[in-house]
Structure 1
């Protein structure tokens, strides 16, 4: 007699629908990645005409050559790495202590502070007041103008708080306090080592956000030497669009030159996107185990 559970027709249909849904979701995510990789090594004319829609055609590495030779792209790359590392460190320094404090039931006024945090999720100061504040603090055209205004995400604080409430036993904290452990030492020596899943999740969330961020740099930075990679990429896209739209009465040689520049810009665009995406894709496998565990604990329990 089999001990397995017998699947009904409805179960089989439901399972088949799930497989179809997962397969379609995979195609939706996978196709743009393959297209960008193929476009970055294909002849720009093949890409522009639509002849290249999946696999590379007229393979050329001119785009990557231009990327590696462009000093502005490498400067932007270095700036993005700096902003991401420093920004993520600041994010974690603000988010984790705040979340742990909100998770402690003996923290006086935690409901009031949590309510104040929640207000900022729905109402912000606005772009103009924030710009004036950053300017008055003397942070214009500095790294801190990019890092400090986005130092904490209230949603991430809530997720981290839920993790601390559901995963750090209250008895462990009480035992440590009985042994004379201070709150700071309890947090640094006991709570943080037990919280690697949520630390990895927050580091990945904040890191990806900082890596892809460009709006703060666009508003607060004036020096092109401090632009992140995403802002450099935006300039390439804008220049490409301007070259493509440049009409008017022009001779054949000028039109050909503009066409050539537009094609090279398109090739560089896809190459830069690939170069900018590789670090995040390379880091994720090392954090995947912690990421899945942290997300499940932080969102399901509590």
Structure 2
């Protein structure tokens, strides 16, 4: 066989991507297919592969009747619906402010983005201390301004999920701000100058110029944050472990509990596919609705 120059180039290209393809196959594709196989089995993983027993659709039927899945899914939906818009709005406001002349802009941008880059476990531990109902600084501040009975936060079924949402929004803001800053720098200043000549207020410029031209950026931020919000785990596991009274239980934590605490790996895999289908459906809905008013996609 005669090797042409093009064949050599193709071979070199395939060899360059081979490590990545092998890594994807062994660490993503094969575990994904194996988890799908486990949905139709019962696996005592302490016995190895020999502990697998085929059970058909038993795990799926169990999942359809499991009230904890519906409660966890409800908490996931509340978490996503509240945290994503809040992070996007606050991130946009910070980006708009930093896009103008601000003293020590780089330092401020870094400080706002730092929580997103930090360890979620470490952040969750700090916030758990801050939320302490009797000695935490948050309730101490609330008492200092005249609130005699501040919320119990992580100890209260009514406030625990809200407390985790507040902490998560705080970490998401930096991510949204950085992407919005990149989008704002792509908007021509001539548009704002023309709006100033026409006498437009700051609010009118924001709603008529900034927001419409940032639609591609907003779409990217929304999709990525929605996916991240449905995969929330570390902060819930560290701060409440799903309590009190399952008020902060989410699907990712329920998967962990079933698979590694109760050692029911097959049912854990079943719930993980439920989570996948939910994320996939939400993402498709977002994509379809965006196409109606956005020409870039």
State the TM-score, normalizing by the size of structure 1: 0.71
Q: Alpha carbons of 1:18 and 1:180: their partners in 2 closer, same or farther (altered >3 Å)?
A: farther
Following superposition, the deviation at residue 120 of structure 1 comes to 5.0
Match of 1:237 among 230, 246, 259: 259
Q: Name the Cα RMSD after superposition.
A: 3.5
Whether the aligned pair in 2 keeps the contact of 1:63 and 1:271 (CA below 8 Å) is yes
**1:71 is the counterpart of 2:90:** no
3-state DSSP class of the match of 1:213? coil
- Pick the aligned partner of 1:205 from 224, 233, 237: 224
Give the corresponding residue for 1:160: 180
Q: Structure 2: give runs of 5+ residues left out of the alignment.
A: 133-137, 140-150, 291-297
- 2:169 is aligned with 1:146: no
More relative contact order, 1 or 2 (CA 8 Å, 6+ apart)? 1
Would the aligned equivalents of 1:46 and 1:58 in 2 still touch at CA under 8 Å?
A: no
Please state which structure has a larger fraction of its residues in helix.
Answer: 1
Aligned partner of 2:105 in structure 1 is 110
CA contact (8 A) 1:41 1:63 kept: yes
1:189 pairs with 2:202: no
Report the CA distance shift for 1:288/1:47 in structure 2 as closer, same or farther (over 3 A).
farther
Mapped partners of 1:107, 1:77: distance in 2: 42
Instruction: After TM superposition, give the deviation of residue 122 of structure 1 in Å.
Output: 7.0
1:106-135 CA distance string (max 9 Å, x none) = 456534532543565677985554223233
* 2:182 equivalent to 1:176: no
1:1-302 to 2 correspondence within 5 Å? Answer: 8=6, 11-18=9-16, 20-21=18-19, 23-28=21-26, 29-44=28-43, 49-50=48-49, 58=54, 60-104=56-100, 106-107=101-102, 110-117=105-112, 127-135=124-132, 136-137=138-139, 138=151, 139-140=153-154, 141=156, 142=159, 143-151=161-169, 152-165=172-185, 167-218=186-237, 219-220=239-240, 221-241=243-263, 265-285=264-284
Report the alpha carbon displacement of residue 18 of structure 1 after superposing the two structures with TM. 4.8
Q: Distance in 1 between matches of 2:262 and 2:277?
A: 23
3-state DSSP of counterpart to 1:222: coil
